[in-house]
Structure 1
């Protein structure tokens, strides 16, 4: 396979080859902008009106791109899945219904496996969107809507390996997905529900109330307490701070590790000094109903490591940076 005597390329030549590939593929994507036209809008409307799902299909490299497009559609509010056209010929065609929309990918538009199932798709009456590089191909002519993803040249110097063409197809698929996302009013919260295990999902689905310390694990002392009492509470609860509350449970201030260090530097008596005299007030708090990501923002902005959690000003919990780290919000 190939010539075992590989020519010697210096670093500059190798980098130049890489740059040429990037420029060639960038030009192929750029050319697509002029093809976002009435056909593209019609394709979007066809999918928006679909009562079923988008069935993406393609062979070989187009199949790999199709899987990614189906995944992107599904995660951005458009139910979609991928079907291999070769497998469709042997039973998987039953996964397609007349309520679906088929999105078929083929650079040539003449892929044998796609043409084999084409009459069956037409017989079902399932709308067909074709994404090809040849507007005169069988697949494009038989489709309800054709999206032209043709490229002037492949980035492969042999003109054989799908490179620019697959990149252009992927970009057109992304254009469809994002246009549909916007049209559906799909939000960050919707995206999070589709990705509960991802970092964005955790950031958008985790609330302060979900991870805060409550009850006996919540550090607090009353306004009448001494510094010694606050120190014992901080040591027991291990959050690096304690809230100071009045008789009604409303937070009046906090006492932190930093406050303790500053107090010790002044050689004040921790047994005699009232906590109300040395606590930090007013203090930063957060409401339990807010996203945990908001707690991260506040802590980073204020350069603090823990927050009292309140509802109507009353202490209901406490949270620190370690809690946020364990919850995967950071």
Structure 2
């Protein structure tokens, strides 16, 4: 990786940034009615990256890869966070919510005790690109009423410094008096969801609570995360270290775009059957029965 002189972001310097524990290559798959995507955070990583259950990345200029979308399907027991980099997707659900997710916007949905929704493209050509993250709910909140919020691009706060632009979807960016609060906050999982844009030769440091599980997903360019080069379409799982105080990202001679996602683990049992995520098999059986009987959503 070619290096150039760095532009410092004016945040409090980290004393001990986290290291990269390992790099993960996503698994190509399809979901919905045949939408092609890459499953980056797979089910075998749910314990390691608790409270996060799944991260899907999708991106294509070929309408055949996305045009069928995600027709009506159920969810129970967690939250979905859909971040649209490019394209238009219409959301409708059984609670009466409807919204158009478009360039730079976020849809945050709490499935809670149950919801049935659809996500269908409103374009027949052009690029569709984005991410869907599944965030677990604590046991006490798994049966809360369903909830939904559309966050247009213009409502997402940004933290900026020379060569650095961070979209703050959840949590906060920066530190101290210069910190910028995100569009969303969650009490129990305390998630960070940052979209970090770095110019060539820039670097960015983000403080994180030592107990949070954290990862970086690079989707443009190649980033240095600590001392490890992380190429595009790779997830870097960050080490757990009680003495660590955050994560440091830097670029070489090319710009970088990356997601930094972190959250406080729930450390509760995880039982999953497709779109239902609960704490026991008995609760899963009940979710399936409720769905078949028309009681879900």
Q: Which has the larger radius of gyration?
A: 1
Q: In proportion to residue count, which structure has more helix?
A: 1
Does the pair score TM above 0.5? no
TM range (shorter): under 0.3
Which structure carries more relative contact order (alpha carbon 8 Å, separation 6+)? 2
Q: In proportion to residue count, which structure has more strand?
A: 2
